[in-house]
Amino acid sequence: AKTTISGEHCLPWTSDLFSYNDPQTNTVQLGLGSHSYCRSPDEDEQPWCYFIKDGGLSWGYCNVSSCRSGRRQPPPPPPPPPNFLPEDVDEFAMVKRSCGRRHKKQSFIRPRIVGGSSALPGSHPWLASINVGRNFCAGSLIRPCWLVTSAHCFANSPLTSTIHVVLGQHFFNKTTDVTQEFKIEKYIMHPDYSVFNPTENDIALIKLKKVNRRCAVRSRFIQPICLPEASMSFPDHYKCYIVGWGYLHERRFRGALGLRKGRHLLPVWHHQLG
């Protein structure tokens, strides 16, 4: 097969759009080459391939026969409706056990994108798009109903009714069938944040308003990020990855995600999530 279940045409595995992290990878053993047949070089649950969609690199599963049984694999069934957590379940403990899970395809290839690092859908599933009126910010999902973001997004004290959050979004300002949208209940700015010194204490929390008694529902594209333990410390100039929608070139806007390394971390701020 050379097409995905959704009907997208597969790229050749030798496409110049990407290369493999391990330059010594035995492409013959993995079944890769100049062809565009569906394969599973990362031992995923079924064969898949890369394709171009909306100007960006993406991937999808293929409906092909299993080598073991010779039977055609049916498309994956739709996910079951989410179960509500019992009140006595420690939701925070559950988040800690399953946070920070990037999609495996991101570690298998290294995209070749001129002018910056592009990200595959699902590679940063905690990223949130936050629209504040006509302004735009980004944040990270830390619990099903909570995001962490920048305090300067709320410097003008906007009404909560003007704030709109999208989870699972890959391309800037574009929702799909995998995104989830929310209004918010409230936002909490750092008590020491000041517009006169906006680079200090620039951090805030957002509480999502539930939809059908639920906030974020986990999927391949929506997962909470891991928070550091209170006992952890980070030295000055500690390198970290940052991600968001932004400019890769002056006066040119690119809608795909771009990785950038940073050298500064904000002081730790503790606030009890209720």
Give the tens place of pLDDT for each residue, 174-196: 788 889 999 999 999 999 999 99
Spell 96-120 as b/e; 16+ CB within 10 A means b: eeebeeebebbebbebebeebbbbb
- What is the pTM (predicted TM-score) of this model? 0.60
Cβ contact 208:165 at 8 Å: yes
Report if residue 115 sits inside a domain: no
Range of the domain at 10: 1-66
Supply angle C-alpha 249, 252, 256, rounded to 5.
80
| Residue 30 main-chain phi, psi, to 5 deg | -80, -10
Q: Are residues 131 and 60 part of one domain?
A: no
Report if residue 255 sits inside a domain: no
If you ran DSSP here, which 8-state letter would residue 172 be given? T
Handedness of CA 112, 114, 115, 120 (dihedral sign): negative
**pLDDT at res. 152:** 95
Whether 62 has a pLDDT exceeding 50, the answer reads yes
If you ran DSSP here, which 8-state letter would residue 219 be given? B
Position 257 confidence tier, pLDDT thresholds 50, 70, 90? very low
Query: What average pLDDT does range 102-125 have in this prediction?
Result: 57
Report if residue 57 sits inside a domain: yes
Nearest CA to 210 out of 151, 145, 135 is that of: 145
**Domain end position, chosen among 37, 66, 95:** 66
Number of Cβ atoms within 10 Å of the Cβ of 203: 20
Report if residue 133 sits inside a domain: yes
* CATH number of residue 4's parent domain: 2.40.20.10
In three state form, how does the secondary structure of 36-91 look?
CCCECCCCCCCCEEEEEECCEEEEEECCCECCCCCCECCCCCCCCCCCCCCCCCCH
Report if residue 21 sits inside a domain: yes
Q: Are residues 132 and 204 part of one domain?
A: yes
Our measurement of the distance from residue 217's CA atom to the centroid of its chain's CA atoms, rounded to an integer in Å, reads: 14
**Domain end position, chosen among 191, 208, 225:** 208
What distance in Å separates the CA atoms of residue 94 and residue 254, rounded to the nearest whole number? 35
Query: What average pLDDT does range 205-224 have in this prediction?
Result: 93
Query: What average pLDDT does range 91-100 have in this prediction?
Result: 56
* CATH number of residue 169's parent domain: 2.40.10.10
Give the tens place of pLDDT for each residue, 4-41: 998 999 988 877 666 554 444 556 667 787 889 998 88
Query: What average pLDDT does range 202-210 have in this prediction?
Result: 96
Q: Are residues 131 and 202 part of one domain?
A: yes
Report if residue 156 sits inside a domain: yes
What distance in Å separates the CA atoms of residue 186 and residue 197, rounded to the nearest whole number? 23
Report the range out of 57-61, 86-90, 123-127 with the highest average pLDDT.
Answer: 123-127
Tokens of 232: 């952890």
Report if residue 172 sits inside a domain: yes
Burial classification of residue 133, based on how many CB atoms lie within 10 Å of its CB (0-12 exposed, 13-18 middle, 19 or more buried) = exposed
Residue corresponding to tokens 């997962």 = 223
Split into its structural domains, the chain has a count of 2
**Domain end position, chosen among 208, 231, 246:** 208
What region does 221 belong to: left with phi over 0, alpha with psi -120 to 50, or beta?
A: alpha
Report if residue 36 sits inside a domain: yes
Q: Average the pLDDT over each of 108-112, 153-157, 178-182 and give the range with the smallest value.
A: 108-112
Element (H, E) at 123: none
